[in-house]
DNA sequence: ACCACCGGGACAACCCGTTCCT
DNA sequence: AGGAACGGGTTGTCCCGGTGGT
């Protein structure tokens, strides 16, 4: 029983170490040995918990996605007006930039690998489509409320998601180049200017 | 003399094959042997033309950047009004999506590797900053013209670039998910709605 | 006491599973994990019952040898005439081919490993020499009886054992190639033709 | 040219080293690294010449088989009377025991692996069946000549092959236990006693 | 100058038999 | 008897230089 607890903890140590190594070196370059050393476990322990490097990666991915999902939903639930909700999400996003800190490159890693590996692709694409649908729904709701202009919700959702994705990529590429959390807020503001009913 | 010509062609064959292999498998996974086979040359020939795998990659990168650069500048030069110029760039972008076709994943590859390798980073980041400056300048010009609202040009430029980058990433991830060329036009329209002087 | 019984049964389940795995995959390729899974026990249980993989293998070997030993001795005891006894052994051998069924490859595994591992060699060689001595004795007895020609008993014994061994190997290699039980009878018949007093 | 010669020699060095290592330690236990060290080449060189460990093994097998084949055919061609030819082969066999020296265990290795790997099996079984057919033919010829008794050639061939195989196995197991070359001659003599026309 | 064969080693992921603690 | 952990060892592959022919 105490065994199981210890196992769980080891598992988490590996997960954390992997997150760091993947973010720093990239999925392909980071080696199992490196991850194990960072986690302070042996390779045997690693393969006791994970079937393969890819399985570990997938698990990391799903961690991220579920966290993101709950964040977005709570932001929506708490604000009655849709523009306010979107601004709230932007604020949430700022935290993402700060919290994810060194972990931000993982996004690029995920997206990149999704293009080369069908299993990762499936795990990435389905929640991603979900997000797009989520924003489309939010925007449609805003139009119904009369707080947003009558644009095509799908298209607008794409724009929103693109903005977020693009900022993440820039944030990874050039972390010192700007305050990306701030940029997110500002960009959303501009976008809302284009979307909101005057 | 004919030698030189042949050498040049071999070089290009390698470059093309590499583009394809990197796009399909990713930089780390694609092997020199694979590229050589796709190009129909021997490894000896490869290392005669390129110092290393990374050098090849950098050359590919610079190819892309110079092409992109000229595209943007011509789009700007031909349209007097700034909003029209931006729309013209969006049209250009549509072509990028169609032309780059299978080569689109290379972007992700570049951005991803830039985060892990300082040499690639330098080659990537400087033109990227240039683009941002370029758009900021265009937008400032638009504000001076009175065709755009008085927003912060730097911020707006970030938004524009983010939009483009985000659409590319989505286009790589989910090529069938939407008509991304179309989405680019529509997104720019929405953004301009938020930027343009009424 | 029920504990002891359960332990004994677990032990046998492991032994049986190991026999199957070794026969199918070979000693080196078959893994402890595989055997444990086939036996439905944990690795902890395995190492509770056996000190090592090799110890398990040795135990399997000795199982076989003791069974074979009793078979041969009873065949001899029941037939007064030596040629008849040999023929009776051939009949016994037929059963071996049928019974051992999928287990036949274990022989090859034993012999093969005996050449590389001194402990297994000792466990294999001593009973084997015993068999040779046994047959030599039987043949000497036949000569004394006047039912066999005056050949060198040692040499003849070697021929007999070789025949048996060779048929087993062929039976493993090419199970569908012939009816090896039948072949054993026929071969012994031919050999006896060469040995028997006219 | 000189290149090719060097490559061929390296290849042979690897083959010889592998033969030794496989004979000493067994196929599974012998490692590529070990073989490379024994051959004095790097792993890069190894995998330049052989696609895999198994490919190397198969090549070793075919070497052996072709050598054996020619030996048997020449022995047959030189002796007009079938019994004499068989005795000549026995003599040839003596040489095999002496020449193959430390390489004898390879037989067991081949036979053993053939049972677990279909590719090796096919490479082993077809020449083996050929041998059986060859002996059956020889014996049928002997019967036609009137130098052998009218036995079933197929069965007799099985007995002959079994004898040979069995002696090899014994020779591997217990090299010091007897003079196996001598034993081969003696056994063939006994067998011929049973086969030959009086 | 260009290319092809050959070779070098480091290192990848994965898995193994085994031990320790409960 | 159970399951977590260990760490060394496996095959295979990679990127790259050297050497010599065209």
Chain D residues closer than 8 Å to C114 by CB: 173
The per-residue pLDDT for A197 is: 57
Q: Which chains pack against A, by 3+ Cβ pairs within 8 A?
A: B
Summarised one tens digit per residue, pLDDT across range B82-113 is: 778 888 888 877 877 776 667 889 989 999 99
Chain A residues closer than 8 Å to B164 by CB: 166
C1' (F1) to CA (D117) span, angstroms: 36
Mean pLDDT, chain B, as a whole number?
86
Residue D34 has pLDDT above 90, yes or no: yes
Summarised one tens digit per residue, pLDDT across range D119-175 is: 999 999 888 888 889 889 888 988 898 888 888 999 899 998 999 999 999 998 998
Q: Could you tell me the CA-to-CA distances from C134 to C67, C71, C128, C129, C158 in Å, in that order?
A: 15, 13, 10, 8, 11
Confidence band (pLDDT; 50, 70, 90) for C178? Answer: confident
The answer to whether residues D32 and D43 touch, using CB atoms and an 8 Å cutoff, is yes
Chains A, B: CB pairs < 8 Å: 168
The per-residue pLDDT for B1 is: 46
Q: What average pLDDT does range D102-130 have in this prediction?
A: 90
Contact: chain C with chain D (3+ CB pairs below 8 Å):
yes
- Report yes or no: D111 at the C interface, CB cutoff 8 Å: yes
Summarised one tens digit per residue, pLDDT across range A88-145 is: 888 877 877 776 767 889 999 999 999 999 999 999 988 888 888 988 988 898 889 8
Residue B198 has pLDDT above 60, yes or no: no
The per-residue pLDDT for B26 is: 94
User: Residue D52 is encoded by which pair of tokens?
Assistant: 């895999």
Query: Which nucleotide is at minimal CA–C1' distance from B34?
Result: F14
The per-residue pLDDT for D198 is: 55
Give strand E nucleotides closer than 7 A to any protein Cβ: 1-22
Name the burial class of residue B65, with classes exposed (0-12), middle (13-18) and buried (19+) by CB atoms within 10 angstroms of its CB: middle
- A 10 A CB-CB count for B22 gives 24
* pLDDT-above-70 percentage for chain C: 93
Chain B residues closer than 8 Å to A128 by CB: 173-174
Q: What is the dihedral of CA B160, B163, B165, B167, to 10 degrees?
A: -150
Residue A44 has pLDDT above 90, yes or no: yes
Residue D37 has pLDDT above 80, yes or no: yes
Distance from CA of A74 to the nearest CA of B (A): 24
Distance from CA of B23 to the nearest CA of A (A): 9
* pLDDT-above-90 percentage for chain B: 34
Q: Each residue of B123-147: b (16+ CB within 10 Å) or e?
A: bbeebbeebbebbbebbbebbeeeb
- A 10 A CB-CB count for C98 gives 10
The per-residue pLDDT for A182 is: 87
Instruction: Say yes or no: Cβ of C54 under 7 A from any atom of strand E.
Output: yes
**Closest Cβ–Cβ partner in D129, D149, D194 for C191:** D194
Between vectors from CA C64 to CA C128 and to CA D122, what angle results, nearest 5°? 85
Measure the CA–CA gap between C174 and D121, rounded to whole angstroms.
9
Distance from CA of C119 to the nearest CA of D (A): 13
Q: Poorest-confidence range of C88-92, C160-164, C193-197?
A: C193-197
Single out the residue of D8, D189, D26, D13 nearest to residue D94, CA to CA. D189
Between vectors from CA D58 to CA D57 and to CA D60, what angle results, nearest 5°? 65
Residue A1 has pLDDT above 60, yes or no: no
Q: Which chains pack against C, by 3+ Cβ pairs within 8 A?
A: D
The per-residue pLDDT for A198 is: 55
Q: What average pLDDT does range B178-195 have in this prediction?
A: 84
Confidence band (pLDDT; 50, 70, 90) for D66? Answer: confident
Q: Poorest-confidence range of A29-38, C94-103, D155-164?
A: C94-103
Residue D137 backbone dihedrals phi, psi, to 5 degrees: -65, -45
Residue numbers of B between 117 and 146 with CB closer than 8 Å to A: 121, 124-125, 128-129, 132
The per-residue pLDDT for D131 is: 86
Chain D residues closer than 8 Å to C27 by CB: 28
Output C150 or A56, whichever has higher pLDDT. Answer: A56
Residue B57 has pLDDT above 90, yes or no: yes
Which of A's residues 24-63 have CB atoms within 7 A of nucleic strand E? Answer: 30-34, 43-44, 47, 51-54
Would the CB atoms of A178 and B158 count as touching at under 8 Å? Answer: yes
C1' (E12) to CA (A32) span, angstroms: 9
Summarised one tens digit per residue, pLDDT across range C34-45 is: 999 999 999 999
Measure the CA–CA gap between C77 and C85, rounded to whole angstroms.
8
Q: Could you tell me the CA-to-CA distances from A110 to A120, B176, C101 in Å, in that order?
A: 8, 19, 52
Would the CB atoms of A108 and B111 count as touching at under 8 Å? Answer: yes
Q: Which residue of A has its CA nearest to B113?
A: A26
Distance from CA of A32 to the nearest CA of B (A): 16
* pLDDT-above-90 percentage for chain D: 43
Query: Which nucleotide is at minimal CA–C1' distance from A46?
Result: F5
Q: What average pLDDT does range B183-192 have in this prediction?
A: 87
The answer to whether residues A63 and A15 touch, using CB atoms and an 8 Å cutoff, is yes
Three-class SS state of A125:
helix
Sign of CA dihedral D188, D190, D196, D198: positive
Sign of CA dihedral D63, D65, D66, D67: positive
The per-residue pLDDT for D61 is: 92
The answer to whether residues C86 and C80 touch, using CB atoms and an 8 Å cutoff, is no
C1' (E5) to CA (D46) span, angstroms: 14
Q: What is the dihedral of CA C21, C25, C31, C32, to 10 degrees?
A: 10
Output A188 or C18, whichever has higher pLDDT. Answer: C18
Q: Poorest-confidence range of B33-47, D14-28, D53-67, D99-113?
A: D99-113
The answer to whether residues C110 and C124 touch, using CB atoms and an 8 Å cutoff, is yes
Which of A55-69, C133-147, D32-46 is the most confident on average? D32-46
Name the burial class of residue D51, with classes exposed (0-12), middle (13-18) and buried (19+) by CB atoms within 10 angstroms of its CB: exposed
Contact: chain C with chain B (3+ CB pairs below 8 Å):
no
Residue C1 has pLDDT above 60, yes or no: no
Contact: chain A with chain B (3+ CB pairs below 8 Å):
yes
Measure the CA–CA gap between A54 and D177, rounded to whole angstroms.
55
The answer to whether residues D80 and D90 touch, using CB atoms and an 8 Å cutoff, is no
C1' (E5) to CA (A35) span, angstroms: 38
Would the CB atoms of B193 and A195 count as touching at under 8 Å? Answer: yes
- Report yes or no: A166 at the B interface, CB cutoff 8 Å: yes
Which of A34-43, A179-188, B152-161 is the most confident on average? A34-43
């Amino acid at each position: 029983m105490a065994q199981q607890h210890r196992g769980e903890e080891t598992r988490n140590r590996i997960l954390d170490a992997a997150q760091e190594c993947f973010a720093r070196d990239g999925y392909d370059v980071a080696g199992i040995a490196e991850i194990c050393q960072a986690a302070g476990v042996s390779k045997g322990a690693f393969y006791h918990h994970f079937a393969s490097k890819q399985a570990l990666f997938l698990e990391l991915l799903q961690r991220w996605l579920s966290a993101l999902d709950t964040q977005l939903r709570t932001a929506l639930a708490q604000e009655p007006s849709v523009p306010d909700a979107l601004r709230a999400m932007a604020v949430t996003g700022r935290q993402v930039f700060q919290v994810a800190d060194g972990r931000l490159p993982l996004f690029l890693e995920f997206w990149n690998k999704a293009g080369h590996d069908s299993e990762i692709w499936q795990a990435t694409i389905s929640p991603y489509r979900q997000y797009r649908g989520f924003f489309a729904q939010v925007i449609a709701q805003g139009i119904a409320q009369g707080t947003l202009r009558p644009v095509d919700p799908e298209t607008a959702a794409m724009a929103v998601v693109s903005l977020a994705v693009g900022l993440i990529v820039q944030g990874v590429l050039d972390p010192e180049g700007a305050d990306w959390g701030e940029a997110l807020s500002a960009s959303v503001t501009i976008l809302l200017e284009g979307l909101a009913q005057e």
